[in-house]
């Protein structure tokens, strides 16, 4: 059956096990950790199953979901950007963890139905508890993982003022209004970030800094050289995936971006950082923040925690400590 789903993919899978799991996204074959983590557990527990990354376009997503739902050998899936929100419309049922966030990162096949879960929220909350009490938090992004960050930050730091910026202002306004939390403030435009003072924590829940080539009608671009705090400008697109060429064409934007980020931390010297990105482990945001000796976490721990929870749900294995131990096994 897996051969049928290959026609919808930008990469091809060759299933060598009786059962299989997937990680669904635009480009998870380029750096996603879940297949490595999940497959360690499958191997050590001698479960005849394997996880495969599948790169799929938004256009092919509906037909693809329809095919895996019919396949008796498909057990479940992780879901990564940019489909955590859009995939909800193709799922039969959603767990309580999804209803408030409206975002799915885990799918379970059960009784010929696809059931959506969200493990980002609990994993994000666990990382945030590692920081001391915060008074003024800036959260960048309100997509699938961004909404998890907003909800968990509001719960961990109950008295903190939380300022949020998202490219889609109306979408963020709708989400935040449903939370009915007076401590949450919406930044209407990007320039408001540079004027902020007294910020003691930044959470990056955008894809800015993630090493991933993306494509539009004009060509390719990669956000891994930028910080989400710096100057927001339209990038110069390149025809081919070439780091050197892309950097040269965007050198002035890069300089302004780095300078603006440095200035932000210079005005907010006691500002800690949680960058949810895990690839690369040290993003431009983290590199600049480190110059001010701030407390910094990347997304590696959160990614591991949500992988443990996702594996537990999909494979119905309750011993999360064992799962985590096997995932960390070298």
**In angstroms, rounded to a whole number, what is the distance separating the alpha carbons of residues 93 and 86?**
14
Q: Is 270 helix (H, G, I), strand (E, B) or coil?
A: coil
Q: Give the DSSP letter string of 118-171.
A: --HHHHHHHHHTTSPP-SEEEEE--SHHHHHHHHHHHHHSTTSEEEEE-S-HHH
Q: Give the DSSP letter string of 4-39.
A: HHGGGBSS-----SSEEEEEEESSTTTT-SHHHHHH
The active-site residue, picked from 50, 84, 136, 324, is 84
**In angstroms, rounded to a whole number, what is the distance separating the alpha carbons of residues 10 and 60?**
10
Residue 188 has, within 13 A of its CA and on its CB side, a CA count of: 0
User: In 229-250, which positions are buried (b, 16+ CB within 10 angstroms) versus exposed (e)?
Assistant: bbbbeebbbbeeeeeeebeebb
Task: Count CB-CB contacts under 10 A for residue 111.
Answer: 6
Q: Tell me whether residue 84 is one of the annotated catalytic residues.
A: yes
**In angstroms, rounded to a whole number, what is the distance separating the alpha carbons of residues 257 and 284?**
10
Residues taking part in catalysis: 84
């Amino acid at each position: 059956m897996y051969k049928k789903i290959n026609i919808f993919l930008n990469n091809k899978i060759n299933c060598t096990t009786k059962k299989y799991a997937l990680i669904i996204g635009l480009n998870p074959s380029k750096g996603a950790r879940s297949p490595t983590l999940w497959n360690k557990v499958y191997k050590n527990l001698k479960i005849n199953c394997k996880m495969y990354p599948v790169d799929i376009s938004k256009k092919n997503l509906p037909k693809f979901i329809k095919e895996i739902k019919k396949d008796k050998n498909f057990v479940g899936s992780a879901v990564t950007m940019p489909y955590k929100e859009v995939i909800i419309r193709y799922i039969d049922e959603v767990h309580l963890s999804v209803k408030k966030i409206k975002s799915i990162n885990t799918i379970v096949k059960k009784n010929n139905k696809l059931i959506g879960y969200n493990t980002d929220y609990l994993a994000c909350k666990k990382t945030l508890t590692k920081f001391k009490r915060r008074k003024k938090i800036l959260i960048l992004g309100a997509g699938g993982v961004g909404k998890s960050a907003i909800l968990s930050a509001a719960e961990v730091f109950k008295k903190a003022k939380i300022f949020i910026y998202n490219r889609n202002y109306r979408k963020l306004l709708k989400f935040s209004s449903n939370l009915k939390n007076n401590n949450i403030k919406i930044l209407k435009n990007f320039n408001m970030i540079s004027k902020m003072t007294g910020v003691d924590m930044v959470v990056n829940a955008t894809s800015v800094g993630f090493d991933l080539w993306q494509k539009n009608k004009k060509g390719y671009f990669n956000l891994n050289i930028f910080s989400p705090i710096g100057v927001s400008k339209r990038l110069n697109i390149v025809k081919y995936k070439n780091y050197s060429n892309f950097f040269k064409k965007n050198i002035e934007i890069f300089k302004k971006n780095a300078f603006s980020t440095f200035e932000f931390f210079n005005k907010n010297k006691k500002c800690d950082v949680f960058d949810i990105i895990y690839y690369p482990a040290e993003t431009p945001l983290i590199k600049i923040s480190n110059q001010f000796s701030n407390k910094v976490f990347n997304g590696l721990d959160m990614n591991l925690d949500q992988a443990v929870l996702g594996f537990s749900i999909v494979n119905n294995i309750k011993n999360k400590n064992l799962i985590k131990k096997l995932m960390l096994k070298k």
